[in-house]
Amino acid sequence: MQTNKLLGYQPGTSPIHRLSGASKLVFFILVSIAVMISYDTRLLAFVGFGSLLLFKLANIKWRQVSFVIYLVLFFAFLNLLMVYLFAPNYGVEIYGQKTLLWAGIGAYGISSQELFYLFNLALKYFSTVPMAIVFLLTTHPSQFAASLNQIGVPYKIAYAVSLTLRYIPDLQEEFYLIKLSQNARGLELSQKAKLLERIKGNLLILTPLIFSSLERIDTVATAMELRRFGKGKKRTWYQKQDLKAGDYGVIALAILILVLSFVLIWLNQGRFYNPWT
């Protein structure tokens, strides 16, 4: 079941696992802000390379994240396609020049500037998605909730996030168990079946599973209310970690990357790096 999980905490002893959840969360937030506000290719490529390095340091296996990566790549490609269809010359407007590579049909030509702009958009996905996956797979849900509370998020919201992260793997495990039992009864839902049959079969599993999940949520909420959860203004966390030297170094690196993004915006006189000037 571990190889079939979509997302879930994976225990480990890597340097990233040993970091505090608060420092990892601050790093992810600050670096994501830097990537979102900047279109400097050099910065995006640097952060993207660093994200791949995080995969290596965290000892994350490809089979653990392959489905998520493929899903993200599909939606990233769909987003790039929509951007091109609705604004085929936006890159030309940004960089102020037009170098045609293919004349195309009407406004739908291909220019170096448009390709460069779409490449930068793709780099944004390439930079942030791996960091998010590494963070989720190396941070215990309770530690994640404690880190949210450490940076000022109300503990009720933090605990709700923790319960969600805990419940997602259980929900997936139940889905795959039902799927396997259906296969044993003769309902083919593997890759051998046609695509429409697989979609229909999975929907037949997901629909009652979602409704049963809502009942569980109501049961958990009632149990927590009976135990007077949320009555106090503060709460303690069993998984809370104090910041150490490595954590401060990670936070300092995140601040440096964020400051660098603002410096590059000032040097480029805008958010976009223009290699044609």
Are both 225 and 145 inside the same structural domain? yes
Give me the pLDDT at residue 164, please.
74
Q: Is residue 5 part of a domain?
A: no
Q: How many Cα atoms sit within 13 Å of 226 on the Cβ side? A: 6
Strands 100-105 and 108-111: antiparallel
Q: Is residue 190 part of a domain?
A: yes
Give me the pLDDT at residue 163, please.
76
Instruction: Identify the residue whose tokens are 């997936």.
Output: 172
Instruction: Identify the residue whose tokens are 């879930």.
Output: 8
Instruction: Identify the residue whose tokens are 């780099």.
Output: 123
Are both 150 and 80 inside the same structural domain? no
Are both 63 and 131 inside the same structural domain? yes
Q: Is residue 114 part of a domain?
A: yes
Q: Are 27 and 250 in contact (CB under 8 A)?
A: yes
Q: Is residue 8 part of a domain?
A: no
End-to-end CA distance of the chain: 53
Are both 85 and 222 inside the same structural domain? no
Three-class secondary structure of residue 6 per DSSP = coil
Give me the pLDDT at residue 256, please.
95
Range of the domain at 225: 141-238
Give me the pLDDT at residue 7, please.
62
Are both 105 and 148 inside the same structural domain? no
Torsions phi, psi for 111 (to 5 deg):
-115, 160
**Runs of H (alpha helix) within the chain:** 15-18, 21-37, 41-58, 62-86, 90-95, 112-138, 141-150, 155-184, 195-226, 245-268
Q: Are 254 and 30 in contact (CB under 8 A)?
A: yes
Are both 115 and 182 inside the same structural domain? no
Are both 90 and 176 inside the same structural domain? no
Look at the chain and report how many structural domains it folds into.
Answer: 2
Q: Are 32 and 259 in contact (CB under 8 A)?
A: no
Q: Are 240 and 150 in contact (CB under 8 A)?
A: yes
Are both 127 and 251 inside the same structural domain? yes
Q: Is residue 231 part of a domain?
A: yes
DSSP per residue, 49-114? HHHHHHHHHHT--HHHHHHHHHHHHHHHHHHHHHHHHH-TTHHHHHHS---EEEEEETTEEEEHHH
Q: Is residue 3 part of a domain?
A: no
Q: Is residue 212 part of a domain?
A: yes
Q: Is residue 4 part of a domain?
A: no
Q: How far is CA 160 from CA 108, 166, 173, in A?
A: 47, 10, 20
Residues lower than pLDDT 70 in the chain: 1-7, 186-193, 195
Give me the pLDDT at residue 187, please.
67
The pTM of the full predicted model, rounded to 2 decimals, is 0.76
Residue (of 17, 56, 231, 34) closest to 144 by Cα position: 17
Are both 135 and 197 inside the same structural domain? no
Are both 167 and 212 inside the same structural domain? yes
pLDDT digits (tens, 9 = 90+) for 154-174: 777 777 777 777 777 777 777
Are both 156 and 105 inside the same structural domain? no
Are both 116 and 169 inside the same structural domain? no
Dihedral sign of CA atoms 192, 198, 204, 210 in order? positive
